[in-house]
Amino acid sequence: MSTNRYKAVIFDLDGVITDTARYHYLAWKRLAASQGVHFDEAFNEHLKGIDRMGSLDLILASAPRAYTPEEKLALADSKNAHYVELISTMSPADLLPGAVEALDACRAAGLKVGLASVSKNAFAVLDMLGIAGKFDYVVDAARIARGKPDPEIFLKAASELGVSPADCLGVEDAVAGVASIKSAGMTALGIGDPAVLAQADRVIAGLDHFALADY
């Protein structure tokens, strides 16, 4: 397919451009332990692509008691504070292979470049990675009412980029993220396992395999 098919490429952050999953895992694991909830790698997989409060709800569903909205907010803030502490040492060395090249290839092709991450720390992470200037628009997750798999975040990115959703390629590594892209009416490029990301239009192992002409 010609690269002229698209006018914009909208990337997810975690698991696509950088891997902060291990930091999320450690922060959630500590919180879960503090509430008497068993948390392991398998459980963590279910949180991929889900926003902070949605992830917290999944964890607390196994807790021995119920929580008030205020208690949930306090726990979410506690988790985030630990996560921010963990990611404070991030640098350009934490970029995944091919990430910068993929962003630059989109720019070189004359396409708009957006970021649609449910992470409320996305701006800080981009700064630490040294790539904030490579995006035309970054969605502020704090202003998104509905997390993935709802299409809101990708539709917001397309709107701010001034591009029709049908002219956008969305890049995601999570099932919820791919569902969000498809619900938005965009073409979905999955990063990871084709068997897991079956709803994606195409799946590659990582951005080091990214080639616009192929999509």
- Tell me: the pLDDT tens digits for 142-199? 899 998 999 999 999 999 999 999 999 999 999 999 999 999 999 999 999 999 999 9
In this structure, are 34 and 97 located in the same domain? no
Q: What's the predicted TM-score (pTM) here?
A: 0.83
Same domain, 130 and 27: no
Looking at 87, 112, 129, the residue that finishes a domain is 87
Same domain, 38 and 132: no
Residues 96 and 152 in one domain: yes
**82 shares its domain with 98:** no
Is 51 annotated to bind a ligand? Reply is yes
Judgement on whether residues 201 and 109 belong to the same structural domain of the protein: yes
188-214 burial, b if ≥16 CB within 10 A, otherwise e?
Answer: bbbbbeeebbebbbebbebbeebebee
Count of structural domains within the chain: 2
* Residue 89 CA from chain centroid, whole number: 20
Which of 32, 54, 87 is where one domain is finished?
Answer: 87
Tell whether 62 and 101 lie within a shared domain: no
Tell me if residue 12 is catalytic.
yes
| For residue 149, cis peptide bond before it (omega within 30 degrees of 0) | yes
Residues 65 and 81 in one domain: yes
Average pLDDT of the segment spanning 130-146 = 95
Q: Is the pLDDT of residue 2 over 70?
A: no
Q: 49 labelled as ligand-binding? A: yes
Asked which of 5-19, 45-59, 107-121, 169-183 is least confident by mean pLDDT, the reply is 45-59
CATH number of the domain bearing residue 68: 1.10.150.240
Question: 178: domain CATH number?
Answer: 3.40.50.1000
Query: Is 134 one of the annotated binding-site residues?
Result: no
40 is in an annotated binding site: no
Q: Are residues 80 and 116 in the same domain?
A: no
99 lies in the same domain as 8 = yes
Q: Would the annotation count 148 as a binding residue?
A: yes
Query: Do 65 and 159 belong together in one domain?
Result: no
Range of the domain at 9: 3-19+92-214
Instruction: Examine the domain organization and report whether 34 and 13 are in the same domain.
Output: no
**pLDDT(127) > 70:** yes
Query: d(Cα 112, Cα 120) in Å, to the nearest integer?
Result: 22
